[in-house]
Amino acid sequence: LLLSVASNAPYTSARPITGPWPQAFPAKDLCSNCGLCRSATGVTSVTEACAFIGDGMARAERLEEPVHGRARRFDAAADDLDEAHFGVHEEIVLARGFLNNAQWTGVATGVALAWLERAEVDAVVVTGAQAAGSGFGAPKPVLCRSAEEVLQGRRVKPSLCPSLEVLDEVAADESIRRLLFCGVGCAVQALRSLNGAAPEAALGLLPGGLYVQ
């Protein structure tokens, strides 16, 4: 009976990296501390997902078609370079926010609040602070399920934040089927590249259930 239980138990060799940063991390001094390697879910994809290993940020262009359904369209001869500069899009709009106590107008936080309150997503990842009043020098990822938690992401925090270290928490929560991730470019690329560019499957999300801003 003991042997049977042991043989049926799930096994994974993936272990989050817990050593000193950046020395213990694969990208060493180039590491932006995105948090990918700090989760068992993410560390298995580091060689194909990290923005500072191998082809690095050049992988972003290869993600455009899987994510958006097509690559960028532009014509230098016709001076049509909008998508060359701004990426794949249907329309570019000017948004004005109205959130109190925001850094600027609160557009990003407002979008996150609206999507959560309208049940467009089940959870939102934002950059909060380790303690009230600790400021931008102590960023902390927050997996939000309420408006109050989303508001912890107000104001720009120009510090490195391991936003992706919450991936194990997302994957373990069966109630999270649609996720909005708010983060910087290298973290977004790593997240989109997870699990061979199939992050929804790795995180237990619905197909197409990952959104970023």
In the predicted model, is pLDDT for residue 7 greater than 80? no
Q: What does the alpha-carbon distance between residue 183 and residue 185 come to, in Å, rounded to a whole number?
A: 7
| Top-confidence residue, 8 or 60 | 60
Total Cβ atoms within 10 A of residue 164: 28
Rounded mean pLDDT, 133-156: 85
Please give the radius of gyration of the chain, using alpha carbons only, rounded to the nearest integer: 19
pTM (predicted TM-score): 0.86
Distance of CA 178 to the CA centre of its chain: 13
In the predicted model, is pLDDT for residue 191 greater than 90? yes
| Top-confidence residue, 25 or 55 | 25
Q: How far is CA 29 from CA 24, 25, 32, 40, in A?
A: 10, 9, 8, 22
pLDDT for position 1: 43
pLDDT for position 135: 58
Instruction: Give me 122's structure tokens.
Output: 């089940």
pLDDT for position 171: 97
Confidence category of residue 132, pLDDT binned at 50, 70, 90: low
